[in-house]
């Protein structure tokens, strides 16, 4: 079986990152203006405690998954939390451990700096992802609300 490799995003990953992130946005029926692609890519490489970071997953040398995550403060702990903001695996490789490997990479990286918690959200209809999430994490029961 071909080995999954997960590593931090590099500047040379731009084309693969853009393809995967576009596919992720398409999955959620979302389009973003070109400026947001540029801003997000720039932020992923901007040093800073609270700037977003990313990993890319490859299988057989091909980029097949990505995740974005960021740290933030909490009023409930002196330790930061880690929000796993985006997680995507190419549909052709779903069920092969890409998502789990990306989640584990974020967990390991967050553990290095002693975060209190790694958490994320998914749409209630995303049953494929929810099967994975129910296996690797615990559901908290909280419901998200948006204002803007």
Q: Give pLDDT tens digits for 89-120.
A: 999 999 999 999 999 999 999 999 999 999 99
Residue 2 pLDDT class (50, 70, 90 cuts)? confident
Residue 1 pLDDT class (50, 70, 90 cuts)? low
The architecture of the domain spanning 4-136 is: 3-Layer(aba) Sandwich (3.40)
Distance between CA atoms of 38 and 81, rounded to whole angstroms?
26
Burial class (CB in 10 A: 0-12, 13-18, 19+), 59: buried
Distance between CA atoms of 101 and 111, rounded to whole angstroms?
15
CB-CB neighbours of 67 under 10 Å: 27
CB-CB neighbours of 135 under 10 Å: 8
Show me where the domains of the chain are located: 4-136
Per the listing, tokens 């995003």 go with 9
| CB 82 within 8 Å of CB 106 | yes
| CB 65 within 8 Å of CB 99 | yes
What are the structure tokens assigned to 147, written together?
A: 């204002």
pLDDT of residue 144: 86
Q: Is the pLDDT of residue 31 over 80?
A: yes
What are the structure tokens assigned to 13, written together?
A: 């990953």
């Amino acid at each position: 079986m071909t080995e999954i490799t997960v590593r931090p995003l590099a500047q040379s990953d731009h084309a693969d990152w853009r393809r995967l992130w576009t596919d992720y946005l398409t999955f959620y029926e979302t389009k973003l203006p070109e400026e947001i692609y540029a801003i997000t890519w720039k932020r992923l490489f901007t040093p800073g405690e609270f700037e977003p970071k990313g990993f890319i997953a490859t299988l057989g040398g091909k980029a097949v998954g990505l995740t974005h995550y960021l740290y933030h403060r909490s009023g409930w702990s002196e330790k930061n939390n880690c929000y796993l903001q985006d997680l995507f695996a190419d549909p052709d490789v779903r069920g092969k451990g890409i998502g789990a490997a990306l989640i584990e990479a974020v967990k390991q990286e967050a553990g290095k700096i002693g975060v209190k918690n790694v958490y994320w959200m998914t749409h209630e209809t995303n049953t494929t992802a929810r099967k994975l999430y129910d296996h690797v994490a615990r559901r908290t029961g909280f419901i998200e609300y948006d204002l803007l």
